[in-house]
Amino acid sequence: MEELNERIRDFYDRSTPLWLDTWGEQMHHGYYGPDGKRKVSHQQAQLDMIDALLEWGVAPTSDVQRFLDAGCGVGGSSRYLALRYPDAEGIGVTLSPVQAHRGNGYNREAGLSDRLNLIAKNVYDLDPEVTGRFDLIWSMESAEHMEDKVQLFRLFRSLLRPGGKLLMATWCHRDEPPYLSPSDQYTLQQICDLYHLPPLVSVSELEAAAAEAGLTNLRTDDWSDSVEPFWGAVIRSGLDPRNWPGLVRAGKGTIMGAWAMKYMRKGFASGAIRYGVLTASR
């Protein structure tokens, strides 16, 4: 596990400056409407993803005084949540010191550093006796990096206040049967190897792990159609010659991550990759 975390940390330390230059502070898929056909800029689609997940999983009247962004990147979602809930205090956690440093700089620029702090730490090492408990835990495309899903959900349950809400969006593979073909398995393995992921789980397996951990009010959905157009946009940005110098500076790991985009595109096209969302309560 520690070796995997070191690879993840190094990957994001090296690739984050390029991503910031290319896409900005949001490091996740965009949302293009339920059928994926909404025509918006890809930066706007990333913000729409945050709104769509909140609307899907959190009641408009929910009182959020404290939130945790588990796997926060440079804190794009964290800052969005801090503005959405102006009385709330937030903590963001990332393995990458580069992301935490850059994100806290953005927090200061946004006037949010008094109530939002990003830290470089393994999510599994969080302790509710140290951090306190939260009304909302936000997990945007980070759970795919975390192998023990039952342990992760038990941790999230311990970090939630009674009645608190977990919202998660994560990469999954399709439910079986029908069973994954050898070609699908190869595609998934390439994605996991190049993006430093443990084996992916299905949406059903994700839900079962959350139930085993004692979370309640579980609900899941598959938003693959809603997010699939994002990879075409990412690939087009990668082919833009203006981004090539930054890609070279970021090093081999980032170049291999860029190469993995073709497998993501293939995985969505074949249905091997699914984009799962989950909401649950303590």
| Confidence at residue 163, expressed as pLDDT on a 0 to 100 scale | 94
What residues pair up with 171 in beta bridges, in sequence order? Answer: 275
Counting the structural domains of the chain, the total is 1
Q: Is residue 111 one of the residues assigned to a domain?
A: no
Token output for 254 = 């980032």
- Among candidate residues 215, 68, 90, the one with its CA nearest the CA of residue 153: 215
| Confidence at residue 175, expressed as pLDDT on a 0 to 100 scale | 95
Separation CA 277–CA 207 (nearest Å): 10
What CATH number does residue 11 fall under? 3.40.50.150
Distances, alpha carbon 9 to alpha carbons 3, 97, 128, 261, in Å: 10, 8, 23, 20
| Confidence at residue 234, expressed as pLDDT on a 0 to 100 scale | 65
Does the model's pTM come out above 0.75? yes
SS3 of residue 247 by DSSP:
helix
Q: Is residue 101 one of the residues assigned to a domain?
A: no
Q: Is residue 37 one of the residues assigned to a domain?
A: yes
DSSP code of residue 114: T
Q: Is residue 117 one of the residues assigned to a domain?
A: no
| Confidence at residue 239, expressed as pLDDT on a 0 to 100 scale | 47
| Confidence at residue 172, expressed as pLDDT on a 0 to 100 scale | 98
Return per-residue pLDDT of the chain as tens, 282 residues: 688 899 999 888 888 887 787 778 998 999 999 999 999 988 899 999 999 999 999 877 678 999 999 999 999 999 999 999 999 999 999 999 999 999 999 999 999 999 999 999 999 999 999 999 999 999 999 999 999 999 999 999 999 999 999 999 999 999 999 899 999 999 999 999 988 999 999 999 999 999 999 999 999 999 999 999 988 766 555 545 555 455 446 555 555 555 567 898 899 999 999 999 999 999
Alpha helices in 160-202 (DSSP H): 182-194
Q: Is residue 218 one of the residues assigned to a domain?
A: yes
Q: Is residue 194 one of the residues assigned to a domain?
A: yes
Q: Is residue 87 one of the residues assigned to a domain?
A: no
| Confidence at residue 246, expressed as pLDDT on a 0 to 100 scale | 54
For the chain, the farthest-separated pair of C-alpha atoms sits apart, in whole angstroms, at: 51
Alpha helices in the chain (DSSP H): 2-22, 42-57, 76-84, 97-109, 128-131, 149-159, 182-194, 203-212, 224-227, 229-239, 244-250, 252-259, 261-270
DSSP code of residue 202: B
Separation CA 96–CA 41 (nearest Å): 28
Q: Are strands 116-120 and 273-281 parallel, antiparallel or unpaired?
A: unpaired
Q: Is residue 142 one of the residues assigned to a domain?
A: yes
Q: Residue 188's domain spans which residues?
A: 2-67+132-281
- Please classify residue 129 by burial: count the beta carbons closer than 10 Å to its beta carbon, then call 0-12 exposed, 13-18 middle and 19+ buried: exposed
